[in-house]
Structure 1
C-alpha cells in the first residue's frame, strides 16, 4: 500500500500504533514530519508537506489517542 500526505487518517492510525507512548498534542512538527516520512509504504515527496497537513495529521492522531 502506498501512503501519501493526503492519507491523513491512515497516517494518524499508523503513528498511534508505532508510537503508543507519545502524546501527539506535544509533538514538534519536525519530529512528526520525520516520522511520517519513515512510515512503511510512505511514497510521497517529503517537500510536499506543509503546516496545514501536519496539523491535520496531529489532530487526527490526538482523536485516535482519545478513543
Structure 2
C-alpha cells in the first residue's frame, strides 16, 4: 500500500482498530498507525496533511 491508497488504508485501519472512532484520531497517531500496517510500504516523508485528511475521511465513510 502507498499513501495514495486511502480507501485500502482505511479498510486496514478499520480492521486494526475496530473500537476507535476515526473522527477523534489525531493526525500524528493516524500517521503512526498507517506506518505500522504490515501491508504499508511507502516513504513517511511523502505524507502530508491532505493525505491524512483523505485517509481519515475514507475511514469515517467505512465506519458509517
TM-score normalised by structure 1 residue count: 0.93
Stretches of 4+ aligned residues off by more than 6 angstroms? none
Structure 2: gaps (5+ residues): none
TM-score normalised by structure 2 residue count: 0.97
Structure 1: gaps (5+ residues): none
Aligned pairs, how many?
Answer: 64
Q: Deviations over 1:12-55 (max 9, x none)?
A: 00001110000000100000000000101211001110000000
RMSD after superposition: 0.5
CA distance in 1 between partners of 2:25 and 2:4 (Å): 20
